[in-house]
Amino acid sequence: MSTPLLDVTDLRVAFTGRGFRPKAVEVLHGVSLSIGEGETLGIVGESGSGKTTIGRAVLGLVKPSGGRIRFQGADITHASPRDRRTLSKSIQVVFQDPYTSLNPSLTIGDTLSEPLVVQGATAGDARARVQMLLDQVGLPRDAGERLPREFSGGQRQRVAIARALAPKPKLIVCDEPVSALDLSTQARVMDLFIDIQRQTGVAYLFVSHDLAVVRHISHRVSVVYKGDIVETGPADLVTSTPEHPYTQRLLLAAPIADPVEQEKRRAERHRLAELHREQNVQAGVA
């Protein structure tokens, strides 16, 4: 494989606090990852681990304090607003909350056609493309004239996916896109993500706290813990036989939907916790 689609090396992000002479808090301590064309890289981590910040840095919504982000070989770490606007054709986003990620006072059609019109499509072309996008994400054809509040969470997320697909991007940053959805809806939206990837060859940077979701959709998985990537590898390996202790804990903490299996897992988790505790004690003594 030649140059990866997205190549992040040693990415650091720090947030400054409030007040006079605020202190900077670093939330990412040098994260490196790469995504190939048509590939899904799952980023899994708990709240506060910095997993969302990785996605936001790639999108240009937060400024990196160090490191380099390359997209198709070009350095976009500190892209100017104008470059960002060009990049928006290639990098898109689907956010977690389908309720706040759509403008409540714009119709679905307006939301979808706006980026197309801004990038120079005629009104007629935009309308045709919107119809196609609605079909692609499995929404009714008349959805374009309706407002977001008339749709359920799963349908809104479909609209958000359609919006991301509109400029035919190469990479979509998906920030917990199924976390706010009901179980049955979640499975269907995930299938939609996979279908679309197979059809269009788009790559996903798929951020989630849920190991099961990440396992379902990712080719490779990176595990983030306290601002560092502690483990990266093929999805089936990382999510079934992880090497890093944190990933092991994460895996065993996720309950299985079966009382008997879950009891076994619980016992194993307690055993592992005991083991780690003893190791820590020994390390402390030594």
Partner 1 sequence: MSIEELSVDPGLAAPARKSPLRKLLKDPQAIITSVLLLVIIVLGLLTPWITPHDPNEAQLNAINAAPGTPGYPLGADQNGRDIASRLLHSINTSMISALIGASVALIIGVTFGLLGGYFGRRLRSATEWVFSLIMTFPGLLLLIVLMPVTKGDYRATMLIFGVLLSPGIYRIVRNLVVGVKNELYVDAARVSGLSNLRILGRHVLFVVRGPIIIAAAFLAGSAISLQSGLAFLGVGSNLVPSFGAMIADGFTNLYLDPTQFIWPSILLGTLTASLVLLGNSLRDAFEGVKLKPSKLAEPTLKSESAVVGDVEAAELLSVKDLVIAYPTPSGQLKEVVKGVSFSLHAGETLGLVGESGSGKTQTAFSILGVLPSEAVIVQGSIKLEGRELLGLREQDLRALRGREISYIPQEPMSNLDPSYTIGAQLVEGIRASARMSGADARARVLALLERVGIQDPQRTFDSYPHQISGGMAQRVLIAGAVASRPKLLIADEPTTALDVTVQAEILDLLRELQAELHMAVLLVTHNFGVVADICDRIAVMQNGQIVESGSALELFREPKHPYTQLLLGSILDEHTVRTDPPVPVAAATGEKN
Residues 37-66 that bind partner 1 (CB under 8 A): 37-40, 46-47, 59-61
Window of 22-30, 128-136, 231-239, 275-283 that interacts with partner 1 by CB under 8 A: 231-239
10 or 198: CB nearest partner 1 = 198
Report d(CA 210, CA 286) in Å as an integer: 36
Position 115 contacts partner 1 (CB under 8 A): yes
Position 254 contacts partner 1 (CB under 8 A): yes
CB atoms within 10 A of CB 98: 25
Q: Can you tell me which residue has the tokens 């036989």? A: 241
Rounded (5°) CA angle 145-171-214:
95
Q: Can you tell me which residue has the tokens 């202190």? A: 23
118 or 128: CB nearest partner 1 = 118
Position 215 contacts partner 1 (CB under 8 A): yes
Position 73 contacts partner 1 (CB under 8 A): no
Least separation in angstroms between CB 244 and partner 1 = 13
Position 236 contacts partner 1 (CB under 8 A): yes
Report d(CA 113, CA 125) in Å as an integer: 9
Q: Please give the sequence-ordered ranges of beta strands (E in DSSP) within the chain, or none if there are none.
A: 6-16, 24-35, 40-44, 66-71, 74-75, 91-94, 171-175, 203-208, 220-225, 228-234
Window of 6-14, 21-29, 83-91, 121-129 that interacts with partner 1 by CB under 8 A: 83-91
Q: Judge contact between 91 and 59, C-beta under 8 A.
A: yes
Position 257 contacts partner 1 (CB under 8 A): yes
Least separation in angstroms between CB 53 and partner 1 = 13
Q: From the list 12, 187, 226, 245, which residue makes contact with partner 1 (rule: CB under 8 A)?
A: 187
